């Protein structure tokens, strides 16, 4: 029995199940909610199964249809992939739980198929081992995400989705051009093979430029973040949560993967410094904009712009100590996903409750929605980077790397960013305690919506407490071992 | 300079023309067309460079990639056109509204 369980191809389930589930939801809308929740739960179990297998065997490989690479398509998972899969599975389960109560019937019919397709594409991306497959899955994610953004209709959502679509297609095309150049130069799209063959030739620098530009646009790094706030703020709450928590991480993951295996060892310090500089600018600019916002969803969206900046601070720091900086980036990505999803779900609850998301008119919600406000506060602890949250561990590792290398400029940026995050989070919490000038009608918020947000926020704290268990898992297969720019 | 290299150069040119049009034109249909032209440019480079082996038989892998790429491009264009119609129906113009005070 144990062996049979051990040998189940968990990675295949992770892709196939949501794909089939999405189609089934489309054909039988009546079962969509149940099926969606079931699929998300099985995905969590499959990730646990995969982790169990990987703890025993190390790196996971699966040749699809028995055709091994370079001819066939291979699924590949190391510690970094596992962390990302776990992130998608956890956030996905909470979003599914939330969405069973959030959507009214007509929107529900369209939400579930798209959401499950998006989950399938995300899982496929995190399991891909070749750069062309990554392109296809990236496009699948983009299309599903745009369709979800436009779900509620209306002027803001539609134009936000359109802008998002144009940006995401441009990013993918630039990335594809890079894939073409790498294939032309080295005759393979397999990351492992490319890693062996790649040399510092002009064609590689062109590919690096195109792919980085495309992925940075899709990850919404300052100053290419223009499409993110309108799209993330106008989408329905669970969709905003998915976009901020998971979709931007997908393109970041590809960039990280390419950097670790292909570009990093070539010694591209200049590009790493540029990415770090843009990251620092994103931290400051995003936090500043978040402080200025008067609407909660826009505030959270700009906070995402700032938190993405932190991820890119790891690039220049990896020159000195690859493992510490990349572990920090991976940890930040995970804890940001959990905390930010919780925050957007909270915003959805407050919108449902009061019919608006104007921060100044929150009107003592702390008394009336205690669970929701607790979720916001706990998620805020992680976003600010206070102990014992996941955000604290990530920022601490990053800060330590910066201190060891004497990068005082980055230390200052991280400190100031943390203070500004505290500023915008306490701004919201402050209004949650005070009475608004104009009291308004309120509508009840279903318990599952409140608890989904709270559970995510608690998870964001828990990953901080469990750092000693999680970090060794990320190290399976030594994803950061050869990474980082050579000193 | 051989024929394959010439085709590749044309592909790069198409990519740049498309990028320029995507940035300068406000009308959404023009933006969508611009993205399609950029895509065609990438596909042309891919097909042209398939002859890099120098043999009589070109490398078949890029052809398979182009077919996949075309499928993706068609679906993306369909979604973009549909969204454009929705935006036009909602706002009366097939253009994106100006960014509000960033």
Average pLDDT over residues B7-21: 93
A77 in a domain, yes or no?
Answer: no
**Cβ within 8 Å, pair B61-A183:** yes
- Comparing CB atoms, the residue among A166, A177, A230 nearest residue B31 is A166
- Name the pLDDT band for B52 (thresholds 50, 70, 90): low
- Name the pLDDT band for B64 (thresholds 50, 70, 90): confident
Angle between helices A296-317 and A322-354 (to 10 degrees): 180
A5: pLDDT strictly greater than 90: no
Q: How far B60 CA sits from the closest chain A CA (Å)? A: 11
The whole-chain average pLDDT of chain A stands at: 89
Average pLDDT over residues A251-266: 89
Q: End-to-end alpha-carbon separation of chain A, Å? A: 49
**Cβ within 8 Å, pair B90-A154:** yes
- Comparing CB atoms, the residue among A165, A177, A183 nearest residue B62 is A183
Q: How far A347 CA sits from the closest chain B CA (Å)? A: 21
A466 in a domain, yes or no?
Answer: yes
Residue A4, pLDDT score: 74
Residue A313: phi and psi, rounded to 5, are -65, -20
Q: Which two tokens stand for residue B48?
A: 């042209």
Query: Which chain B residues are closer than 8 Å to A165 by Cβ?
Result: 76, 79-80, 83
Query: Which chain A residues are closer than 8 Å to B15 by Cβ?
Result: 173, 177
**Cβ within 8 Å, pair A162-B84:** yes
The answer to pTM > 0.90 is: yes
Q: Give how many domains chain A has, as a whole number.
A: 1
Query: Which chain B residues are closer than 8 Å to A222 by Cβ?
Result: none
Residue of B nearest to A138 (CA): B72
Q: How far A64 CA sits from the closest chain B CA (Å)? A: 17
A306: pLDDT strictly greater than 90: yes
- Name the pLDDT band for B53 (thresholds 50, 70, 90): low
CA-to-CA distance for B28 and A466, rounded, in angstroms?
48
Average pLDDT over residues A193-206: 89
**Cβ within 8 Å, pair B49-A177:** no
**Cβ within 8 Å, pair B52-A169:** no
**Cβ within 8 Å, pair B96-A159:** yes
Q: How far A219 CA sits from the closest chain B CA (Å)? A: 19
Residue B91, pLDDT score: 86
Residue A69, pLDDT score: 67
| E strand or H helix at B87 | helix B60-91
A274: pLDDT strictly greater than 70: yes
- Name the pLDDT band for B101 (thresholds 50, 70, 90): very low
Portion of chain A with pLDDT greater than 90, in percent: 59
- Comparing CB atoms, the residue among A136, A150, A155 nearest residue B68 is A136
Residue A121, pLDDT score: 96
Q: Which two tokens stand for residue A233?
A: 């703020």
Tell me whether 0.90 is exceeded by the ipTM: yes
**Cβ within 8 Å, pair B31-A177:** no
Residue of A nearest to B28 (CA): A162
Closest Cα to residue A13, out of A77, A101, A109? Answer: A77
A340: pLDDT strictly greater than 60: yes
**Cβ within 8 Å, pair A173-B80:** no
- Min mean pLDDT across A132-136, A234-238, A321-325, B83-87 is at A321-325
Interface test with B, best of A183, A185, A186, A220 (most B CBs within 10 A): A183
Could you give the domains of chain B? 3-91 (1.10.287.3510)
A233 in a domain, yes or no?
Answer: no
CA-to-CA distance for B42 and A178, rounded, in angstroms?
10
CA-to-CA distance for A362 and A357, rounded, in angstroms?
8
A395 in a domain, yes or no?
Answer: yes
**Cβ within 8 Å, pair B90-A155:** yes
A298 in a domain, yes or no?
Answer: yes
Query: Which chain A residues are closer than 8 Å to B32 by Cβ?
Result: 166
Q: Which residue has the tokens 């990028």?
A: B19
CB of A71 within 8 Å of any CB in chain B?
A: no
Q: Which residue has the tokens 């926020």?
A: A457
CB of B91 within 8 Å of any CB in chain A?
A: yes
A199: pLDDT strictly greater than 70: yes
CB of A358 within 8 Å of any CB in chain B?
A: no
A476: pLDDT strictly greater than 50: yes
- Name the pLDDT band for A175 (thresholds 50, 70, 90): very high
Tens-digit pLDDT profile for residues A94-112: 999 999 999 888 888 889 9
A138 in a domain, yes or no?
Answer: no
- Name the pLDDT band for A262 (thresholds 50, 70, 90): confident
A277: pLDDT strictly greater than 80: yes
Average pLDDT over residues A337-343: 95
A52: pLDDT strictly greater than 50: yes
Tens-digit pLDDT profile for residues A356-415: 888 888 877 888 888 999 999 999 999 998 888 999 999 999 999 899 888 899 999 999
Domain of A408? Answer: 291-487
Q: How far A353 CA sits from the closest chain B CA (Å)? A: 27
Residue A292, pLDDT score: 93
Residue B60, pLDDT score: 81
B102: pLDDT strictly greater than 60: no
SS (H, E, C) chain A: CHHHHHHCCHHHHHHHHHHHHHHHHHHCHHHHHHHHHHHHHHHHHHHHHHHHHHHHHCCEEEEHHHCCCCCCCEEEECHHHHHHHHHHHHHHHHHHHHHHHHCCHHHHHHHHHHHHHHHHHHHHHHCECEHHHHHHHHHHHHHHHHHHHCCCCCHHHHHHHHHHHHHHHHHHHHHHHHHHHHHHHHCCCEHHHHHHHCCCCHHHHHHHHHHHHHHHHHHCCCCCCCCHHHHHHHCCHHHHHHHHHHHHHHHHHHHHHHHHHHHHHHCCHHHHHHHHHHHHHHHHHHHHHHHHCCEHHHHHHHHHHHHHHHHHHHHHHCCCCHHHHHHHHHHHHHHHHHHHHHHHHHHHHHHHHHCCCEHHHCCCHHHHCHHHHHHHHHHHHHHHCCCCCHHHHHHHHHHHHHHHCCCHHHHHHHHHHHHHHHHHHHHHHHHHHCCCCCCCCCCCCCHHHHHHHHHHHHHHHHHHHCHHHHHHHHCCCCCCCCCCCCC
Residue A485, pLDDT score: 35
Residue A44, pLDDT score: 95
Surface of B (39-58) touching A: CB under 8 A: 39, 42, 45-46, 49, 52
| E strand or H helix at B66 | helix B60-91
Q: How far B2 CA sits from the closest chain A CA (Å)? A: 16
**Cβ within 8 Å, pair A162-B83:** yes
A249 in a domain, yes or no?
Answer: no
Query: Do residues A134 and A191 make contact, with C-beta atoms less than 8 angstroms apart?
Result: no
**Cβ within 8 Å, pair B80-A163:** no
CB of B38 within 8 Å of any CB in chain A?
A: yes
A366 in a domain, yes or no?
Answer: yes
CA dihedral A314→A133→A81→A215, nearest 10 degrees, is 20
Query: Do residues A307 and A439 make contact, with C-beta atoms less than 8 angstroms apart?
Result: no
């Amino acid at each position: 029995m144990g062996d049979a369980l051990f040998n189940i191809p968990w990675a295949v389930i992770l892709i196939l199940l949501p794909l089939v589930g999405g189609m089934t939801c489309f054909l039988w809308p009546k079962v969509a909610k149940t099926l969606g929740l079931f699929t998300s739960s099985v995905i969590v179990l499959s990730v646990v199964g995969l982790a169990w297998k990987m703890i025993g065997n190390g790196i996971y490989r699966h040749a699809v249809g028995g055709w091994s690479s370079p001819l066939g398509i291979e699924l590949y998972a190391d510690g970094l992939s596992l962390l990302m899969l776990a992130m998608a599975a956890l956030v996905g389960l909470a979003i599914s739980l939330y969405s069973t109560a959030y959507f009214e019937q007509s929107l529900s019919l369209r939400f579930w198929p798209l959401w499950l397709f998006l989950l399938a594409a995300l899982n496929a991306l995190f399991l891909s081992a070749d750069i062309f497959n990554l392109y296809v899955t990236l496009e699948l994610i983009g299309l599903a995400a745009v369709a979800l953004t436009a779900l509620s209709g209306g002027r803001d959502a539609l134009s936000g989705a359109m802008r998002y679509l144009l940006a995401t297609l441009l990013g993918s095309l630039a990335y594809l051009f890079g894939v073409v150049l790498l294939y032309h130069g080295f005759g393979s799209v397999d990351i492992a093979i490319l890693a062996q063959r790649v040399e510092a030739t002009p064609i590689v620098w062109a590919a690096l430029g195109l792919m980085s530009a495309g992925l940075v646009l899709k990850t919404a790094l300052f100053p290419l973040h223009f499409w993110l706030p309108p799209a993330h703020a106008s989408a329905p709450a669970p969709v905003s949560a998915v976009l901020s928590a998971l979709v931007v991480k997908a393109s970041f993951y590809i960039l990280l993967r390419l950097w670790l295996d292909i570009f990093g060892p070539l010694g591209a310090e200049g590009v790493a410094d540029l990415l770090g500089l843009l990251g620092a600018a994103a931290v400051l600019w995003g936090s500043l904009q978040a402080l200025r916002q008067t609407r909660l969803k826009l505030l959270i969206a700009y906070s995402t712009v700032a938190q993405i900046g932190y991820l890119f601070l790891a690039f220049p720091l990896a020159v000195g100590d690859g493992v510490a900086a990349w572990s920090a980036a991976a940890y930040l990505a995970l804890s940001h996903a959990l905390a930010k999803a919780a925050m957007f779900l909270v915003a959805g609850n407050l919108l449902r409750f009061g019919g608006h998301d104007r921060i100044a008119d929150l009107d003592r919600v702390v008394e009336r929605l205690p669970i929701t406000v607790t979720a916001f506060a706990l998620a805020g602890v992680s976003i600010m980077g206070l102990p014992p949250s996941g955000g604290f561990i990530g920022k601490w590792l990053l800060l330590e790397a910066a201190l060891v290398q004497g990068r005082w400029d980055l230390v200052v940026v991280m400190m100031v960013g943390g203070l500004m995050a505290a500023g915008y989070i306490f701004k919201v919490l402050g209004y949650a305690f005070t009475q608004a000038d104009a009291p308004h009608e309120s509508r009840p918020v279903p318990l599952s919506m409140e608890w989904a947000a709270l559970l995510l926020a608690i998870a964001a704290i828990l990953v901080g407490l469990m750092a000693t268990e999680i970090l060794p898992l990320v190290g399976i297969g030594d994803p950061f071992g050869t990474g980082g720019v050579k000193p | 300079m051989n024929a394959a290299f010439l085709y590749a150069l044309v592909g790069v040119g198409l990519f740049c023309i498309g990028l320029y049009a995507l940035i300068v034109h406000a009308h959404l249909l023009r933006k969508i067309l611009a993205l399609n032209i950029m895509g065609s440019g990438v596909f042309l480079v891919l097909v042209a460079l398939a002859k890099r082996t120098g043999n009589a038989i070109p490398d078949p892998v890029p052809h398979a990639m182009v077919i996949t790429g075309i499928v993706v491009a068609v679906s993306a264009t369909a979604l973009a056109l549909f969204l454009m119609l929705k935006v036009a129906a909602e706002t009366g113009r097939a253009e994106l509204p100006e960014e509000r005070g960033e």
